[in-house]
Structure 1
Amino acid sequence: MEFFVGVALALGVTVFAARSGFDRDRAFYPTLLVVIASYYDLFAILGGSGRALGLETAELVVFAAVAIVGFRTNLWFIVLGLFAHGALDLGHGRLITNPGLPAWWPMFCMAYDWTAAAALAWRLARPSAGRDYPLAPEAYRQRISPLVATELQAAKLEERSGNWTGSFRRLERAHILSQASTAEHIRVHSHMLGWAIRRQDLREALAQVLRIVGAATKTVFGLIPEGNTGGGDVGAFRSHGIPEDLAAQITASRPPVIGRRIGLLLAVGFLVSCGLGVRSVVAAPVDVRTASVEGHSIAYRMLGSGQPVIVMLAGLGDGMDSFSEVAAELAKSATVIIYDRPGYGLSEPASRPADASAAASDLSVILAQTGVRGPYILVGHSLGGLYAEYYAAHHPDQVRGLVLEESRPANFTQRCESAGLAMCVPTDDMVRMMARGVRDEVASLALTMTQVEAARPVRRKPVLVLSRPLGAKPSPMDGLWVQGQAELAARYAGAIHLTAPAGGHYIHREQRDWFVSAVRQFYAAMGDQR
């Protein structure tokens, strides 16, 4: 559904911008690209992840640079930028772990990006594009080069007649014409350097050497002060008025239509993306089942077959998709059940509090409706670890073992606040834009922790605690968290505590092979305890 919403919204914005005339401003689509790229930063802030914020900001800087280049030179850069951002959306989860990112956003954003890219490509390929969107590079150079050559030839004639001042004036006119083309810009400054050498003007020669470097590096980014005459006696970043005859030549040299092949390529890419989007939306329900729990439906998937039976509980803000890759691997030698809690993904929201007791009740109903008999190995990540602990404490006969991956200790909030640290719990502002299930669970978080603390830990069951490494420069929060993992392992007699070789909070994503191996070794060591 998110794919089609993205396409529809992008088309709606495109039509509105075209009808209202907003997109006649060159800044419209470059600004759109920057805004789209900035949303990942917002999600990183909402998720409270400094590491994700740093990586997302680096990504934003890249796309902002593309936006500047496109705005200053050629809007086809914006088309390519939107298309590239859509491609990034598809693989974003593999590159950056952003805990604040809604599960539906990447597909929605990809659809929006590629639809906007296709729309802009179509606009640029129309015969009116030269009027609507003044463009540049190679086509501009081909048209302006003969005019520049005419001014350079006139400069030579003036110099041969002994009129050095008149010669340089012609070079200045050539410079004004050349500014939007890197090659022509460098060419004119090279002629100015030759003029200075023949004139034995050391000051002007040094100035032109610097101008050549500037022309080679800044022109492509559109950092060109219009009308600047290019001489050493004029500030390199100072704009001037353009003579009327040169302004007319520059306007006439702008190409009306460029990039038809690029437009065709992007159109094909857009159609392919439509196919991918349709496939992702249509294929999703094939192996997704639903369980009816107290009047609302819960979506779940069951992969693999046989024993053991592994039930995976995702963390706050994550649905069953968080485990999709490791679940597929584990399912090669086990039955794996993953599901969306109420208000997440494909599951309907519930009307009662989303605390540990409710999570355990829902899980009991889901497992009963799957028809797969226990006991089960519960794998809980982060908040899902609290739910797994509570379920095990109240249904010990249904639990074969516990795997707690970066599980939130029940007393973590209290210890965090006692240490005077900030961001100990997600705030309402952090989750305001998140899924309904996230908001409900945050609202019940204090109750959940109280319930788990009050519950007696399950006895005589194998427990595996998986935690991230402390890192070279840990923050006080990191130190407290890692200490809490050790104490969590001590809560269960005989528990095994393993530290991942690298990575952060999402071990099952960042250290997938290690995670799968650790879980397999854990249940292999348990033997057949059915």
Structure 2
Amino acid sequence: MKPLVMRIVFWSVLVAALAILAGVVYEQYGRYRAARDFPAPGKMVDIGGGRRIQLDCRGAGSPTVVFEDGLSIDGSLSWAAVQPAVAQRTRACSYSRAGLMWSDASNAPRSAKQVAQDLREALMRAGERGPFVLVGQSLGGLYATTFTRYFGSEVAGLVLVDPSHPDQVARVAAFMTETRSLRSRIAVSLAWTGLLRAAAPSLLPQAPNQTEHDAQAVRAFAPKSMVTQMAEGDATDAVLAEAGAFRDLGSRPLVVLTAMAPYTGSELRGMQITPEQGVQVQAIWEKMHEEMAAWSSRSAHRLLPKAGHDIQFDDPRAVVEAVLSVVEAVRAEGGTPPG
């Protein structure tokens, strides 16, 4: 009986080892195909320290619009439905933060200041010069204001697309507490086995106004990007506290866009709140954006009743109009960043 048990254990271990090896090979081949089939749009900019950042700049004119993604894995592709229209009127640059899509990962501690420094280094080394109009969605809105904090002489205006607020965790604590799925953590930790790549098509559906090509590119790089996204999510509280130290945008033209479409059933389940509580959370969200609009003496706050949090996909025209309104305001005043 004992030899039989030993044989069962041996073959079980062997099958498991072969399955893991097959998964590793599948993942490595997937990464090779991702780089081959989806080359980086724009160019890869060497920012020093052995790292490169993907930067995609199009069009001509001043000021230069710079897009900053939120806490997602889309990188520069988050703005694919917006950037071309803006590039018809002025210079427009999107990029992927360190560790997202094509960009190399960073070993530096995650902070809003580090994101700002990486972005500026990429812009400078690529020959892109201000004045800049910064466009940031969700957490990217606070990355944009942090860039303004450290490089304010180069920032002429901003558009904040359903931005995060430094006090958002405390303000909605009565309704919901932030949770990070253990299932997601396990999936990300096993990315090297190919499991995450195999599940990507079902986990990452195509967004509204997103091309099939872009959706496939995001899925192809998902095992890499989701590791970065998880780390960025873990650092969110620290980033909110860091960004909250700067709330003065002077007289720079500013537009704040707020998504006001009712939360979907899946969103409510994800936040673990009722539809009634969802209405209350949205009211708090709107109030926080009113406060952010007051960070500049020349601002507009626009509510978008049919758009969800990813306004750049749900209502790209609204984002384009907001960006171009700030571009025209900057041009009217000669392009000099106001204090």
CA-CA distance at 1:368 after TM superposition: 0.7
Post-superposition CA distance 1:469-503 (Å, at most 9, x none)? 25496613333222222222123323210112412
* Amino acid corresponding to residue 455 of structure 1 in structure 2: F
Q: 1:442 to 1:285 in 2, by over 3 A?
A: closer
Is it true that 1:371 corresponds to 2:131 in the alignment? Answer: no
* Amino acid corresponding to residue 529 of structure 1 in structure 2: G
CA-CA distance at 1:322 after TM superposition: 0.8
| Equivalent residues of 1:313, 1:381 under 8 A apart | yes
Match of 2:329 in 1: 525
Q: 1:287 to 1:485 in 2, by over 3 A?
A: same
- State how far apart, in whole Å, the 1-side matches of 2:131 and 2:171 are: 34
Q: 1:372 to 1:464 in 2, by over 3 A?
A: same
Q: 1:402 to 1:297 in 2, by over 3 A?
A: same
Give 4+ residue runs of structure 1 displaced > 6 Å after superposition.
Answer: none
SS of corresponding position for 2:321: helix
Match of 2:92 in 1: 336
SS of corresponding position for 1:302: strand
| Ranges in structure 1 where 5+ consecutive residues have no aligned partner | 1-15, 17-107, 109-277
| Equivalent residues of 1:508, 1:515 under 8 A apart | yes
* Amino acid corresponding to residue 398 of structure 1 in structure 2: E
CA-CA distance at 1:357 after TM superposition: 1.1
Post-superposition CA distance 1:146-204 (Å, at most 9, x none)? xxxxxxxxxxxxxxxxxxxxxxxxxxxxxxxxxxxxxxxxxxxxxxxxxxxxxxxxxxx
* Amino acid corresponding to residue 400 of structure 1 in structure 2: A
TM-score w.r.t. length of structure 1: 0.45
* Amino acid corresponding to residue 248 of structure 2 in structure 1: P
Match of 2:238 in 1: 447
What is the RMSD of the two structures over their aligned residues, measured on CA atoms?
2.7
| Equivalent residues of 1:470, 1:478 under 8 A apart | no
SS of corresponding position for 1:392: helix
Match of 1:313 in 2: 68
Post-superposition CA distance 1:406-446 (Å, at most 9, x none)? 110011012222x2413x36456545526222122122212
Q: 1:420 to 1:498 in 2, by over 3 A?
A: closer
| Equivalent residues of 2:98, 2:105 under 8 A apart | yes
- State how far apart, in whole Å, the 2-side matches of 1:400 and 1:428 are: 42
> After superposition, where does 1:109-120 map in structure 2 within 5 Å?
none
SS of corresponding position for 1:401: strand
- State how far apart, in whole Å, the 2-side matches of 1:488 and 1:470 are: 20
Post-superposition CA distance 1:369-393 (Å, at most 9, x none)? 1212101000000010010011112
- State how far apart, in whole Å, the 1-side matches of 2:163 and 2:122 are: 22
- State how far apart, in whole Å, the 2-side matches of 1:326 and 1:521 are: 14
CA-CA distance at 1:524 after TM superposition: 1.4
More strand by share: 2
- State how far apart, in whole Å, the 2-side matches of 1:356 and 1:387 are: 6
Is it true that 1:290 corresponds to 2:64 in the alignment? Answer: no
| Equivalent residues of 1:353, 1:440 under 8 A apart | no
> After superposition, where does 1:359-508 map in structure 2 within 5 Å?
359-417=115-173, 419-422=174-177, 424=178, 426=180, 429-430=183-184, 433=188, 435-469=226-260, 471=262, 475=278, 476-508=280-312
> After superposition, where does 1:12-411 map in structure 2 within 5 Å?
281-282=36-37, 284-285=39-40, 287-318=42-73, 319-411=75-167
Aligned residues: 255
Q: 1:456 to 1:479 in 2, by over 3 A?
A: closer
* Amino acid corresponding to residue 469 of structure 1 in structure 2: M
| Equivalent residues of 2:158, 2:326 under 8 A apart | no
CA-CA distance at 1:404 after TM superposition: 0.4
* Amino acid corresponding to residue 258 of structure 2 in structure 1: S
* Amino acid corresponding to residue 42 of structure 2 in structure 1: D
Structure with the greater alpha carbon radius of gyration: 1
- State how far apart, in whole Å, the 2-side matches of 1:439 and 1:293 are: 25
- State how far apart, in whole Å, the 2-side matches of 1:481 and 1:331 are: 31
